[in-house]
Amino acid sequence: MTKETLIVSLKGENATDPVRALTEPRWVRWSLIGVGVLFVALFLVMPLVEVFGSALDKGLEYYLNAVTDPMALSAIKLTLISAFFSVVLNTVFGVASAWAITKFNFWGKNLLITLIDIPFSVSPVIAGLIYVLLFGLQGLWGKWFIDHNMHIIFAVPGIVLATIFVTFPFVSRELIPLMQEQGSDEEEAALVLGATGWQIFWKITLPNIQWGLLYGVILCNARAMGEFGAVSVVSGHIRGLTNTLPLHVEILYNEYNFTAAFAVASLLTFLAVVTLIAKALVGARYEKEKEVLPSSLESEPTL
Amino acid sequence: MSIEVRKLNKTFNGFKAVQDISLKLESGSLVALLGPSGSGKSTLLRMIAGLEIPDSGEILLTGREATFVSAKERNVGFVFQHYALFKHMTVYENIAFGLRVRNQSEAEIREKVHNLLSLIQLSGFEKRYPSQLSGGQRQRVAVARALAPSPEVLLLDEPFGALDAKVREELRDWILKLHEESKVTTLFVTHDQNEALEVASRILIMNHGKIEQDGTPIEIFDHPATHFIAQFVGETNYIDTEVTEKGLAVWGPFRFPINPSFTKGQKVRIYFRPHDVYVTEQFETLQVKAKIKKTRFKGTVIEYLLDIGEGKSIFAQVPKGVALASGFKDGLDVYAAITAFHVFPL
């Protein structure tokens, strides 16, 4: 907007309408909103509709058969197992690392912070390859494990390991800024009042970080269930044994079984939508928790 | 219930926060640790509480060696500047925390918390959360929480620093009353000299990690031990001059009789408070001529900038009633004398 038009819109015919005086012309507003809506519809809504549409292409019965197929059920089971281990282990690790990083000073702290970020900066395929190089038959420790009858690569443990690696930073990345902002005042207060380390953690620290923690867990879980690249490398694609849901979708698709592929994909999509809703709910609560409430009640008690 | 500190040192990344401090607080005393920010007063307090570990030196609580005793075992009450109340707990649970971790019975806890609530005049507020309290109420809850486990000493770190002036004054009176009732040895850190002068029976003034003076409020105010304290505590004029002859320093029209130990020609700085400048409209005795250049209203006193000739000027404060009765105003010729001053070598 040029200087002249600004003056006109402030002094001119719009002067009586404060809202119009402070905003852009109608055609600018509508075209900007239109571009935004079109973009979201094209890239987010259409694929979503397409997934469910294609999944139900051959009717509900076909859909249910595809989803309850033993291979599909096995993939669901494996996805849940790897998500479970990733969430549990990364929650414990995330809380412990965030606690250490924000409440203590120690040598190598910056190195640890950098290390936590590695899974974000390394391609998941490379992450998978790292495990093949370590535990594969030709790998560094692979022979020892196989000699002791422990199969990691092309087996469930490999998939779980790869998933843990990829989802490693979610919880700690969520907690570190939160705990930094909160500082250690409450913990110090509890310590001086005579609380032990465990009491401080369970009664003070954990309640203060619970919403941030839940948020991190949801993100971690979503990524664990949807991970493809790293898992694909270590899985070996053995049907009914080492296929997770994303891998199962790929196999069905490669076999030109599009309807079944979309049916299974709709499960993942459904999980994603549920996660999004949970994330929105927790996020709203979390934001509310973070904001400092105004001390609205200045009234003194009447004695 | 006494606190003793011997040759305490603490350095943070090469910055000497506390240097060789020794002090002893008798049981039941109420002492202020006064100093500008960065003077090391909070560090000293946190070391006594066990929240920082000294590099060297000793801390004794009630005569027992406590230097390396965990904060958890020291049985001190600590009140933080920003309250540090447990946000997710009610007022009741906040105060009860120190009792719960000591596994006291529910009945004992209830009785103690209710006693403390009435002490801090917040009975009926037990179900509120800290976010539903005003700043002054939060700080009182923080004091009650610190007192709940019956600590041997109470340490307060800038307890009123985050509150507005009116509430601060109320809490000052309240802390004094509380101390009279409980008789807990209390050490509080402040950068507000009025707070220290008004509340404490003894003041330790810290600067650059060292204690510069240790005395009663009157001693500190009337007999500052160092340059720093003369400038830091209370308002003051200061002038730089040299000793004119044995026992006398002259600055403009003023003649200061000084200690004969200063040698002739020695450079000195003389401090005198604006309220120690005696101003009258008629010449009385030993006064010099002055002219009112500027008037500043300061509530109970009125401050004047006095032109005393030779391009020199000083500040004088006159009680409001006296000033109004005398009809002081800008441009008026008056007479002034300095009734009290302190001389330090430069």
The CA-based dihedral angle spanning residues B192, B227, B237, B40, taken in that order and rounded to the nearest 10 degrees: -20
Tokens of residue A220, six digits? 């971690």
Across B138-163, b (16+ Cβ under 10 Å) vs e yields bbbbbbbbbbbbebbbbbbbbbbeeb
User: Do β-strands B15-25 and B3-12 pair in parallel, antiparallel, or remain unpaired?
Assistant: antiparallel
Nearest to A189 among B75, B78, B133 (CB): B78
Q: Is the CB of residue B185 less than 8 Å from the CB of residue B3?
A: yes
Give the Cα separation of A264 and A260 in Å (integer). 6
Give the Cα separation of B111 and B145 in Å (integer). 14
Tokens of residue A280, six digits? 């929105």
What is the pLDDT averaged over residues B145-164?
A: 88
Contacts of A193 in chain B (CB under 8 A): 97-98, 101, 145-146, 148-149
Judged by CB atoms closer than 8 Å, whether chains meet at B80 and A188 is answered as: yes
Strands of the sheet containing B210-215, edge to edge, are: B76-79, B153-157, B185-190, B30-34, B202-207, B210-215
Residue in this structure with the two tokens 């779980």, named with its chain if needed = A160
Give the Cα separation of A151 and A156 in Å (integer). 8
What is the pLDDT averaged over residues B254-273?
A: 89
CA distance to partner chain A, nearest, from residue B58 (Å): 19
Give the Cα separation of A93 and A81 in Å (integer). 18
Whether residue A152 is predicted with pLDDT greater than 70 in this model: the reply is yes
User: Do β-strands B202-207 and B30-34 pair in parallel, antiparallel, or remain unpaired?
Assistant: parallel
At B110, is the secondary structure helix, strand, or coil?
Answer: helix
A301–B contact, CB cutoff 8 A? yes
**CATH no. of B3-232:** 3.40.50.300
What is the pLDDT averaged over residues B19-27?
A: 91
Contacts of B87 in chain A (CB under 8 A): 186, 208
Judged by CB atoms closer than 8 Å, whether chains meet at B84 and A301 is answered as: no
A204: closest chain B residue by CA: B86
Tokens of residue A78, six digits? 């494996």
A54–B contact, CB cutoff 8 A? no
Task: Please provide the distance, in angstroms rounded to a whole number, between the alpha carbons at the two ends of chain A.
Answer: 62
CA distance to partner chain A, nearest, from residue B51 (Å): 7
- The pLDDT confidence band at residue A1, using thresholds 50, 70 and 90, is very low
Would you list the domain boundaries of chain B? 3-232, 237-345
Tokens of residue A302, six digits? 């009447």
Give the Cα separation of A94 and A172 in Å (integer). 4
What is the pLDDT averaged over residues B275-280?
A: 91
Q: What is the pLDDT of residue A296?
A: 39
Instruction: Please report the sign of the dihedral spanned by the C-alpha atoms of residue A134, residue A136, residue A140, residue A143.
Output: positive
Angle of helix A258-290 relative to helix A245-254, nearest 10 degrees, comes to 150
Tokens of residue A72, six digits? 């599909």
Judged by CB atoms closer than 8 Å, whether chains meet at A297 and B84 is answered as: no
φ, ψ dihedrals at B151, nearest 5°: -70, 160
SS3 content of chain B, % helix, strand, coil (to 5): 30, 35, 35
Same topology for domains B3-232 and B237-345, yes or no?
no
User: Do β-strands B313-319 and B277-280 pair in parallel, antiparallel, or remain unpaired?
Assistant: unpaired
Residue range B237-345 forms a domain whose CATH class is mainly beta
Judged by CB atoms closer than 8 Å, whether chains meet at B77 and A292 is answered as: no
Q: What is the pLDDT of residue A293?
A: 44
The CA-based dihedral angle spanning residues A251, A253, A258, A264, taken in that order and rounded to the nearest 10 degrees: 50
Judged by CB atoms closer than 8 Å, whether chains meet at B74 and A204 is answered as: no
B130: closest chain A residue by CA: A295
Q: What is the pLDDT of residue A7?
A: 47
Model pTM? 0.78
- Which of B5, B147, B179, B170 minimizes the C-alpha distance to B79? B147
CA distance to partner chain B, nearest, from residue A287 (Å): 15
Determine which of A11-25, B175-189, B237-251 has the lowest per-residue pLDDT on average. A11-25
DSSP assignment of B288-343 equals: EEEEEEEEEE-SSEEEEEEE-STT-EEEEEEEHHHHHHHT--TT-EEEEEE---EE
Give the Cα separation of B73 and A193 in Å (integer). 9
A292: closest chain B residue by CA: B131
Residues 6+ apart with CB under 8 A from B221: B197, B233, B234
The model's pLDDT over A83-120, given as tens digits with 9 standing for 90+, comes to 999 999 999 999 999 999 998 888 888 999 999 999 98
Contacts of A189 in chain B (CB under 8 A): 78, 80, 84-86, 145
Contacts of A200 in chain B (CB under 8 A): none
Q: What is the pLDDT of residue A289?
A: 63
Nearest to B72 among A185, A195, A296 (CB): A195
The model's pLDDT over A10-19, given as tens digits with 9 standing for 90+, comes to 454 545 566 6
What is the pLDDT averaged over residues A151-168?
A: 88
A299: closest chain B residue by CA: B134
Judged by CB atoms closer than 8 Å, whether chains meet at A190 and B97 is answered as: yes
The residue type of A163 is T
Q: What is the pLDDT of residue B94?
A: 94
The model's pLDDT over B34-55, given as tens digits with 9 standing for 90+, comes to 998 888 999 999 999 999 999 9
A147–B contact, CB cutoff 8 A? no
Probe site for chain A from B43, B70, B94, B101 (most A CB atoms < 10 A): B101
Give the Cα separation of A36 and A34 in Å (integer). 5
Residues 6+ apart with CB under 8 A from B44: B5, B8, B10, B18, B21, B33, B206
Q: Is the CB of residue A130 less than 8 Å from the CB of residue A234?
A: no
Q: Which of A22-26, A30-34, A218-222 has the highest mean pLDDT?
A: A30-34
Q: What is the pLDDT of residue A87?
A: 94
Give the Cα separation of A40 and A211 in Å (integer). 29
Judged by CB atoms closer than 8 Å, whether chains meet at A192 and B74 is answered as: yes
The residue type of B260 is P
Alpha-carbon distance values, B273 to B6, B204, B316, B336, B344 (Å): 35, 21, 8, 13, 15
